[in-house]
Structure 1
Amino acid sequence: MQNLKELIGQSIMKSEETRPLTIKNIQKMHKVLIIPLEYCHYNEKNGRISTYISKYLSTANELKKGDIEAYNKVLEQFIYESNPNALDKTKKNIQLLGQLEPGVILNDGRIIDGNRRFTALRKLKEDGNADIFFKAILLDQSEGIDEKDIKKLELQLQHGKEKPVEYNPIDNLVDIYQDIIENELFSVEEYSQYVNKNVSDVKKMVKRAILMNQFLQYINAEKQYYIARDWEFDTILQDMLNIIERQLKGIDVINILDDKTDKHEVQEYLCIRNTLFTLALTGRMLHTHDLSRHMRDIGKHVIDSDEKDDFLDDIEDHVDDIYDTLHEHDKIDLETLKEVSREIDKVQQDLAQKGEEYIESGKQSDVQTKPVSIMNKVLKDLEKLDFVQLKYMDDETEQDFLTHYSKLKKEMEKIDEALRV
């Protein structure tokens, strides 16, 4: 690819506009250039389309930059599909007002900021509009700008806007996983700073991202992120994370599998995790209505109950059968999942039925034991009462206390009456 810097003053022209950018913690003004569209190409590492790229590559396709226009055509479609409403709005705005906000590209033509604006400009050119150019700042990597600087700038530009266009939640998790875990570009603290989020919120997203990757590995569909996107799995991942963290107090999902000191905790984690993964997979395959509610019910009424061990033992063979069937295939995609689901339909139906039976049993048990739970809470609160203090209440406080005490006695009489029935 040619160096665009060499074309400044020839086919690339300078404008009168400037834009401030902060790189390596130094802010400076940069000239905005007017660049022919054919010199620019999409960034295949754009987090907003990571799930679309994973689906494209899963079908034996390759992204080749030998033919830039063919490459751009493929990624243009992904950009459009990721948020067609936002793209159409951007196109209309540019058609009416021109490109008001410049993008950022590298000297090899890779777009760092402005993929949607670039797409809108391409669409306008396809519609027959003449004199369509991309206004952008040109950054030269030979000046010491590395991948971390580029990604940091990308995050700051995307999330620093007053109203940034929201990611698909799964695309966001993929981006976070690649930046923090896979490529180790940033710490959680650094990332939270660049995207204007709390450290605790980013850490939760990292945990969901790790669970997502573990889930895809578990079902033999490693990095097939589009599956999690198509299944709208973000909420399900949080449901599973909540259950795991309630069961294993103090567990850190981020590094639990790297911890070799407590093998028992790792085994317990894998047992609960694999069960939840299988239930979530089965739920999607059987089109369970409100899968998130179902997973929460499994957590509340089964995993968090005295029936947990019986339930895990009861469905262990089902979990193993489904896992083994998935791993008989070289690799799983959505179509293969449908085939596998037909193969193991009876196992899935049995598993779903057992889950419902345990949930109903748990709900019934909760109803039966709820009075005891409430009474325990009342007794614990009464134990906090300091009887010595009763002697030193002023008149107004004493009257309030006696009113509440009278109500309490009446409630106790109602309990006596109910128990005599």
Structure 2
Amino acid sequence: MKDLLKTGFEAGSVMLTKQARKLVVGGESAEYPVYRIKLSELRYNPQNDRIATWVSEYDENHEVKLSDTDDAQEFNDVVEGFIVNSDPDKLRLTEKSIKENGQQEPGVILANGLVLDGNRRFTCLRRLSRNDERFNWFEAIILDNAIGNDRETVKCLELMLQFGREERVSYDPVDRLVGIYRDLIDDATRIETLTPEKYAHSAGIAQSKLNGLIEKARLMSEFLDAANASKRFSLARGLKIDGPLTEIQSMFKKCLSPEEAQRIKSIAFANMLVEPDQISPFMRKIKKIINAGDCEEFLCREDELALEVYERLEEEDEVTADVIRDKLRADLDLKDRMKCEVDRAQFSMQQKKLLKSPASALRDAVAILSTIDLVILAKLKKGQVQEIHEGIDEIRDVVDRLELAINEAVRRTAD
């Protein structure tokens, strides 16, 4: 295995600078020297959450898998394209800053050349170096390769470096969910020694927030399973499902059984796949209908639509974004039927609410009147007593009008 700390100086590809950077590694804080490393010695980290999702997407669409290549230059060129396209405007700003002021913040790499922190800076330097050799160096801390063998240490370090700084604002929320799923949930990839508590501490987030993200990551996986696209995380990112998942997280909180919760998930996922309207507001409408209760008729009709959606996907050998677009979202009749069901349920819910309003208002009025302290009436002044008498007369007038209206309604019903 390449070790830049042992061979880089003699080869002229590593130089020590006068800088140092404080870093917490394995729970211990220390000052680390900063080196200048030739760009040709470096490689993007394929285990990075964002990069892993991009590589997975590339592999799904190419016969020769990027994950199988040993050619660091080829790998870097493809990943560079992903990074540039993910946020070109922000990258241009970073590139302009480096061109004018140089690299202001050192990155972090392993001695084998894997970049743990500084992907955007590394990308900008690669692009600038093609026209100016001055930018052919990346300033970074070099960590011993032994650290790279400890997945928990590397992940905790990445989490501390990835979140909480301005540079991380553009981190795709689905990529974050994918990372949580791989690191904490999936039996095939999870880091056994990494607990949710350690993850939350390293990422600088509250445990309750991480618990919500773990739940959402599970929902993401269930959504892909329902779509017959298990673990195709690039599809989840392309469909931008983070917002809809947030809306459906509370849909099944009141469910009395796992079967009932699964039913609601199935309906919600089918609507996400078809996208009858702007999806996050649309999912909020469904959530309100379900949370209002008394919606069995709506759920039965939605069950039929969901079954139609899933049967269409089962006919496909491979579910891709193109399949979802052509087989589901391009079907205007299907979208209209889904939208109409929600509109109908909303109207029914509003009508029920209006019918309940008079009785509800009366109950509220009685409750308010019941709070009057009768003992205090004896202590009121003459003017205050007169004011109460006038209020009682107004109440009697309202009650008389209500009784007349109710009697008239009963008479019309009898006729």
TM class by shorter chain equals 0.7 to 0.9
1:304 matched to 2:295? The reply is no
DSSP 3-state at the match of 2:265: helix
Is the contact between residue 301 and residue 363 of structure 1 (CA under 8 Å) also seen in structure 2? no
Offset at 1:327? 1.8
Aligned residue number for residue 24 of structure 1: 26
Offset at 1:126? 2.1
Is the contact between residue 42 and residue 75 of structure 1 (CA under 8 Å) also seen in structure 2? yes
Offset at 1:331? 2.3
Offset at 1:339? 3.3
1:332 aligned to 319, 328, 339, which one?
Answer: 319
Equivalence map 1:116-265=2 (5 Å): 116-142=120-146, 146-161=150-165, 164-182=168-186, 183-184=190-191, 186-245=194-253, 247-248=254-255, 265=257
Q: Indicate how the Cα distance of structure 1 residues 401 and 119 shifts in structure 2: closer, same or farther if over 3 A, else same.
A: farther
The letter of the residue matching 1:24 is G
Deviations 1:25-68 (A, max 9, x none): 11121111110001001112222345433322221451234111
More deviation, 329-338/406-415: 406-415
- Report the structure number with the largest CA radius of gyration: 2
Offset at 1:236? 0.9
Equivalence map 1:255-334=2 (5 Å): 265-282=257-274, 284=275, 286=276, 288=277, 290-302=278-290, 304-306=292-294, 308-334=295-321
2:104 aligned to 77, 100, 106, which one?
Answer: 100
The letter of the residue matching 2:328 is S
Q: Please give the alpha-carbon distance, in whole angstroms, between the structure 1 residues aligned to 2:124 and 2:312.
A: 45
Q: Indicate how the Cα distance of structure 1 residues 318 and 33 shifts in structure 2: closer, same or farther if over 3 A, else same.
A: same
C-alpha RMSD of the superposition: 3.2
Q: Indicate how the Cα distance of structure 1 residues 360 and 143 shifts in structure 2: closer, same or farther if over 3 A, else same.
A: closer
Offset at 1:386? 7.6
Is the contact between residue 273 and residue 329 of structure 2 (CA under 8 Å) also seen in structure 1? no
Is the contact between residue 251 and residue 290 of structure 2 (CA under 8 Å) also seen in structure 1? no
Aligned residue number for residue 408 of structure 2: none
Offset at 1:281? 1.7
Q: Indicate how the Cα distance of structure 1 residues 151 and 379 shifts in structure 2: closer, same or farther if over 3 A, else same.
A: farther
Q: Please give the alpha-carbon distance, in whole angstroms, between the structure 2 residues aligned to 1:180 and 1:341.
A: 33
The letter of the residue matching 1:52 is W
Q: Indicate how the Cα distance of structure 1 residues 342 and 137 shifts in structure 2: closer, same or farther if over 3 A, else same.
A: closer
More deviation, 45-54/6-15: 45-54
Offset at 1:154? 0.9
Deviations 1:122-156 (A, max 9, x none): 11112334352001111113268511101101111
* TM-score between both structures, scaled by the size of structure 2: 0.84
Is the contact between residue 148 and residue 154 of structure 2 (CA under 8 Å) also seen in structure 1? no
Equivalence map 1:67-106=2 (5 Å): 67-106=71-110
Is the contact between residue 302 and residue 358 of structure 1 (CA under 8 Å) also seen in structure 2? no
Equivalence map 1:359-378=2 (5 Å): 359-378=346-365
DSSP 3-state at the match of 1:242: coil
* TM-score between both structures, scaled by the size of structure 1: 0.83
Q: Indicate how the Cα distance of structure 1 residues 415 and 37 shifts in structure 2: closer, same or farther if over 3 A, else same.
A: farther
2:55 aligned to 36, 53, 56, which one?
Answer: 53
Identical-residue share of aligned pairs (%): 28
> Matched residue pairs, number?
397
Q: Please give the alpha-carbon distance, in whole angstroms, between the structure 1 residues aligned to 2:394 and 2:284.
A: 37
Q: Please give the alpha-carbon distance, in whole angstroms, between the structure 2 residues aligned to 1:47 and 1:395.
A: 72
DSSP 3-state at the match of 1:100: coil
Q: Indicate how the Cα distance of structure 1 residues 345 and 165 shifts in structure 2: closer, same or farther if over 3 A, else same.
A: closer
Is the contact between residue 110 and residue 142 of structure 2 (CA under 8 Å) also seen in structure 1? yes
Offset at 1:19? 1.1
Gaps in structure 2 of 5+ consecutive residues: 406-415
The letter of the residue matching 1:120 is C
DSSP 3-state at the match of 2:29: strand
Q: Please give the alpha-carbon distance, in whole angstroms, between the structure 2 residues aligned to 1:401 and 1:34.
A: 88
Offset at 1:24? 1.7
Q: Please give the alpha-carbon distance, in whole angstroms, between the structure 2 residues aligned to 1:52 and 1:343.
A: 26
Deviations 1:3-28 (A, max 9, x none): 22222322211111111111121112
Offset at 1:101? 1.0
Deviations 1:226-279 (A, max 9, x none): 33333332221111112111x327xxxxxxxxxxxxxxx121111111111112
The letter of the residue matching 1:152 is C
Offset at 1:409? 7.3
Offset at 1:412? 7.4
DSSP 3-state at the match of 1:130: helix
Gaps in structure 1 of 5+ consecutive residues: 250-264
Q: Please give the alpha-carbon distance, in whole angstroms, between the structure 1 residues aligned to 2:281 and 2:75.
A: 42
Q: Please give the alpha-carbon distance, in whole angstroms, between the structure 1 residues aligned to 2:287 and 2:124.
A: 46
Q: Indicate how the Cα distance of structure 1 residues 350 and 330 shifts in structure 2: closer, same or farther if over 3 A, else same.
A: same
Q: Please give the alpha-carbon distance, in whole angstroms, between the structure 2 residues aligned to 1:189 and 1:399.
A: 65
Q: Please give the alpha-carbon distance, in whole angstroms, between the structure 2 residues aligned to 1:79 and 1:404.
A: 73
